[in-house]
Amino acid sequence: MKLAGLSSVDNAHDDSVWATTWVPATTSRPALLLTGSLDETVKLWRADDLQLERTNTGHCLGVVSVAAHPSGVIAASASLDSFVRVFDVDTNATIATLEAPPSEVWQMQFDPRGTTLAVAGGGSASVKLWDSATWKLIATLSVPRPEGGKPTDKSSSKKFVLSVAWSSDGKRIACGSMDGTISIFDVARAKFLHHLEGHTMPVRSLVYSPTEPRVLFSASDDAHVHIYDSEGKTLIAALSGHTSWVLSVDASPDGLAVATGSSDKTVRLWDISMRAAVQTMTNHSDQVWGVAFRPPGGTGVRFGRLASVSDDKSISLYDYS
């Protein structure tokens, strides 16, 4: 497996680019790359040449997360202004505006069927679930203290929830906290199951394997990427190689690799079977906040794609093979 640099756009935004995801292809158009920036805008880019399709405004502070519905028809952006804006990808019409208290909107992701949007709740130490048909809040999954945690320790601030991920079968949600713990929830019962431990610093990003619903990958400020059996509560492997915070992790659609972005300014490709980094890309000049593999599907799509976004305001696109 390898990455080959395809194209880059410098000054893609006017400020740091903190978020990216792919909008799946529809019957009428190919997949698009969605990016969100501290410049308060969300942009949509063509998949193969990073030509700008359109710029969406509507937030009054920086955009910290973006999510795409599996249908490819709608997407959502979350901002430091404490709003999640849900919009039609092709017309930019606002479909819903979800409001949250300050510092309670961080990463978010639609479930595999597209019925629910999960939003990492920051200071509320929870994950909020929104129904994507009515845009009503349907559940709040609260993160409990780890066993043995003393009520006197300032654990609520440590439980600040930064990251969230759905399992590929839609049955589990994982969320990562500032204190390094990962919480696993049974979605159908809205029930906390257990913590996964091993990280010593904030867990910035999580992704489940697309092929193994139990396998969870995590990225942390402790410079490690962990592979967990999320059901058996076991750490399968700790991947080391980054020299600073690991800010983002995504799994390849074939389930054979993960890519990571770090504040050491690199993008790394990891072979899961070897449990080692097989490639390091150094085209960014500042920390890499987001990496995202393009989902399979769409007409005429022959190659895998990986995108990365950075504090250097640029977007890079790679061929994954």
Asked if 185 and 191 count as a contact pair (C-beta separation under 8 A), the reply is yes
d(CA 9, CA 278): 25
Q: Return all residues near 302 (Cβ < 8 A) that are at least 6 apart.
A: none
C-beta separation of 260 from 248 below 8 A: yes
240 within a domain of the structure (yes/no): yes
Is 153 inside a domain boundary?
no
Give residue 70's pLDDT. Answer: 96
Of 84, 80, 91, nearest to 110 by C-alpha is: 84
Q: Give the pLDDT of residue 155.
A: 46
**Domain-located, residue 41:** yes
pLDDT, tens digit, 9 for 90 and up, residues 7-34: 999 999 999 999 999 999 999 999 999 9
| Distance, CA of 179 to CA of 227 (rounded, Å) | 18
- The secondary structure of the chain, three-state, reads CCEEEEEEECCCCCCCEEEEEEECCCCCCCCEEEEEECCCCEEEEECCCCCEEEEECCCCCCEEEEEECCCCCEEEEEECCCEEEEEECCCCCEEEEEECCCCCCCCEEECCCCCEEEEECECCCEEEEEECCCCCEEEEEECCCCCCCCCCCCHHHHCCEEEEEECCCCCEEEEEECCCCEEEEECCCCEEEEEECCCCCCEEEEEECCCCCCEEEEEECCCEEEEEECCCCEEEEEEECCCCCEEEEEECCCCCEEEEEECCCCEEEEECCCCEEEEEECCCCCCEEEEEECCCCCCCCCCEEEEEEECCCCEEEEEEC
Determine, yes or no, domain membership for 273. yes
Name the CA dihedral angle for 119, 183, 101, 108, rounded to a multiple of 10 degrees.
-20
Alpha-carbon torsion angle 191, 197, 201, 207, nearest 10:
-60
* Domain residue limits at 129: 3-144+158-320
Q: Residue 152: inside a domain, yes or no?
A: no
Instruction: Give me the CATH number covering residue 64.
Output: 2.130.10.10
The answer to the question of residue 250 being in a domain is yes
Cβ proximity of 127 and 120 under 8 Å:
yes
At 212-238, the pLDDT tens digits run 999 999 999 999 999 999 999 999 999
Q: Looking at the 3D structure of the chain, how many domains does it have?
A: 1
* 192 in any annotated domain: yes
The pLDDT value recorded for residue 148 is 55
The pLDDT assigned to 303 comes to 74
Residue 306: is it exposed, middle or buried by C-beta count within 10 angstroms (0-12/13-18/19+)?
Answer: buried
Report whether 294 contacts 23 (CB < 8 A).
Answer: no
- Residues of the chain predicted below pLDDT 70: 146-158, 298-302
- CA nearest to 302, candidates 320, 287, 285, 288: 320
Q: What pLDDT does residue 153 have? A: 46
Domain-embedded: residue 149: no
Give residue 147's pLDDT: 61
Q: What's the predicted TM-score (pTM) here?
A: 0.94
User: Are 266 and 282 within 8 A, CB to CB?
Assistant: yes
